[in-house]
Structure 1
Amino acid sequence: MKRRTFLAIAPAGAIAAASTAAILTSETPRATDVAFDALPDAGTGGFLNSAEARMVGAAFDRLIPADDLSIGAVEAGCVTFLDRQLAGNWGHATTRYRLGPNEPGTPEQGDQSPFTPRDRYRLGLAAMASRAHTDHGKDFADLPPQTQDRILAAMERGEHGADAKFFFAMLLQNVREGYFADPLYGGNKDMAGWKLVGFPGARYDYRLEIDRPGEDLKLAPISLMDRA
C-alpha cells in the first residue's frame, strides 16, 4: 500500500478503533438498535391444517402443560412457532442433503432419511390420528389427558415403531424450541419461557453483571422484537 493511501485511511481507522474502545470501556452498556429488515425471517406459517394444528396443540400441552409456574405450550404460541418453521426452510429441509444413500446414521449424524420435517409431521400426525381412532374411537385431541399421555409415552418407548419414536422426539424438541425461542418466531408469548428460567434475553452485553455469577440479576427479558 502506498504511504499516501495509508495516510488517507488511517484517521478513519483510528476513529473507528477509538469508538470501539469507548464502547467496550463504557460503564453503561450501549443500546442495541436493529433495523427491522436486519432481523431474521420469522415466517408466516400455513402448513398445518386445522385438524393437524389441533392435534399438535393437544400433544404440546401434554408435554408442556400449564401449571402454577407458567402458561402451557399452546398459550405460549408453540403451535404457531412450529407452523412457521414447517412452512419455511427448516420444514423443507433446504440445508440438508437428502439424495441418498439413506442408511441409518448415528445420533451424531442426525436424520439420514429422505423425509423433510414437513413429511415427518404429515405422516406422524396421520399415524397418531389413526391410532387414536382405532384404539379409542376419537380424535387424539378429544381423548382424556391420561389417555393422551399413554399414547405419547408408548411412542417415546418405541412401542408403535421406530418412526413413531422418532416423531415423538421431534414433537418434544420442537415444543421446547417454541417455548424458549425468541418471541419473534411466534412462540414464547410475553417471554413466558424466559421468565420461567430467568433468562434475560437478547441483551447487548453483561459488563455490569459479569462479576455477579450465580446471583439473581432480576433482569427483565428483552426480545429481538423490541429492537425493531
Structure 2
Amino acid sequence: MANGKPNEPQDESKRRFLKYAGTAVGGLVVGGVVGGLIGANSKAGNEASPAPSPSGSTPAAPSDRDFNQALMYFNQDQFQTAEAAAERIFPADDLGPGAKELGVAFFIDHQMASAYGMNARDYMSPPFHPGEAYQGYQLTFKRQELMALGLDALNEYSQDKFKSKFAKLTPENQDAVLTAFETNEVHLKGVPAGTFFNMLRALTIEGVYADPLYGGNKNMGGWKMRSYPGNQMSYFDVIEKEGLVKLEPLSLHDHLTS
C-alpha cells in the first residue's frame, strides 16, 4: 500500500517515489506554509538521549523537549490510527525513516486544528451542488470532520472484518483495509471513502516533507532522504563554488532561534 499502490512491494514503491517526486519537494509542502499553523518546535537534529538515571528513567531536560509532539485535535484512538495508516502509506525502509518516526501523525493532527482543518478560508454555506473533479474539495464536511469520520471508520471496518483495531492489525491486513477505502468499497456517512483516503495520503506526504516547525519531518529526516537543503537564508557563500555542494538542511525554527 506504500504511497497508495496496494499491490506493489513497499521498498520499490518508496524508491520510485523518492526518485521521481522531486517536484513535490520544491513547492508549498517544504516551503513551510502548508496549513498556517506554527508551533514551537525543538532544536532540529536532537542529540542522542542522555544516559538513563539510576532508576531506569530518562527524563528529558526542558530544552530537549519537542513541544510539537502534542495533540491538538485527535483523541488517542484517532491519533494511533492515523499514525499506523500513515506508516503504511510511507513506510520505513533502508532508504530512511517512515511516517511514524517522522512524526507525520502529529503534523496531520495540527493541520486539523488549524484554519486549514476548519476550512476557514472556504465558502461553506448552502446551497451545495456536486462539483467537478477539477474544482477540488466540495464537501459539506470540514476537513477536520472528514478526517475524524474516516479514522473512526477505519477502526470500525477493521473491527468488523478482522476483529481488531486498525493499529493492531498486521501490515497485510492494514493494506487490505486502506485499499477498501481507496477504492470506495466502504460507505461513509455521505462521503466517498476514497475522498478521505486521498486526503490522508496527501497529508502524509506533506507531513514527510513539510518544515519541522509544523510538526512532521522530525529532525528533517524527510529532507535528508532527498538531500534537500531546507530553508536556507542565503546561498551567497556557496553559489560560486564548482560542483554539487551538499548543505545540511535548516528549518524555519533554526532561523527563529539564531
Measured at CA, do residues 204 and 146 of structure 1 come closer, stay the same or move farther in structure 2, by a change above 3 Å?
same
Q: TM-score, normalised by structure 1?
A: 0.76
Report which of the two structures shows the higher radius of gyration computed on alpha carbons: 1
Task: Tell me the CA shift for residue 212 of structure 1.
Answer: 8.1
Question: Which stretches in structure 2 are left out of the alignment for 5+ residues?
Answer: 1-35, 41-69
Question: Which stretches in structure 1 are left out of the alignment for 5+ residues?
Answer: 1-38
Aligned partner letter, 2:179: A
Structure 2 Cα separation of the partners of residues 113 and 97 of structure 1: 11
Structure 2 Cα separation of the partners of residues 85 and 45 of structure 1: 11
Q: Which residue in 2 is equivalent to 1:5?
A: none
Which of the pair is proportionally richer in helix? 1
Q: Which residue in 1 is equivalent to 2:80?
A: 54
Structure 2 Cα separation of the partners of residues 132 and 202 of structure 1: 40
How many residues are paired up?
189
Map 1:66-145 → 2, pairs under 5 A: 66-145=92-171
Name the SS of the counterpart of 2:73 in structure 1. Answer: coil
Displaced runs of 4 or more, over 3 A = 205-213
Q: TM-score, normalised by structure 2?
A: 0.68
Task: Tell me the CA shift for residue 85 of structure 1.
Answer: 1.1
Measured at CA, do residues 165 and 40 of structure 1 come closer, stay the same or move farther in structure 2, by a change above 3 Å?
closer
Task: Tell me the CA shift for residue 132 of structure 1.
Answer: 0.6
Q: Which residue in 1 is equivalent to 2:57?
A: none
Which one of the candidate residues 188, 194, 214 is aligned to 1:185?
214
Which sits farther off after the overlay, 116-125 or 99-108? 99-108
Contact preservation (8 Å) 1:45, 1:86: no
Post-superposition Cα deviations, 1:146-203, rounded to whole Å, max 9, x if no partner, equal 0101111222122224621001001100111111000001110110111111211111
Q: Which residue in 2 is equivalent to 1:41?
A: 38
Task: Tell me the CA shift for residue 54 of structure 1.
Answer: 0.5
Task: Tell me the CA shift for residue 113 of structure 1.
Answer: 1.4
Aligned partner letter, 2:219: D
Structure 2 Cα separation of the partners of residues 216 and 189 of structure 1: 25
RMSD after superposition: 2.2
Aligned partner letter, 1:220: E
Q: Which residue in 2 is equivalent to 1:227?
A: 255
Task: Tell me the CA shift for residue 216 of structure 1.
Answer: 3.9
Name the SS of the counterpart of 2:97 in structure 1. Answer: coil
Q: Which residue in 2 is equivalent to 1:217?
A: 245
Question: Is 1:175 paired with 2:172?
Answer: no
Measured at CA, do residues 103 and 40 of structure 1 come closer, stay the same or move farther in structure 2, by a change above 3 Å?
closer
Structure 2 Cα separation of the partners of residues 197 and 139 of structure 1: 34
Measured at CA, do residues 127 and 212 of structure 1 come closer, stay the same or move farther in structure 2, by a change above 3 Å?
farther
Contact preservation (8 Å) 1:45, 1:87: no
Contact preservation (8 Å) 2:111, 2:117: yes
Q: Which residue in 2 is equivalent to 1:155?
A: 181
Measured at CA, do residues 133 and 110 of structure 1 come closer, stay the same or move farther in structure 2, by a change above 3 Å?
same
Task: Tell me the CA shift for residue 126 of structure 1.
Answer: 1.8
Structure 1 Cα separation of the partners of residues 236 and 133 of structure 2: 38
Question: Is 1:64 paired with 2:98?
Answer: no
Structure 2 Cα separation of the partners of residues 116 and 66 of structure 1: 31
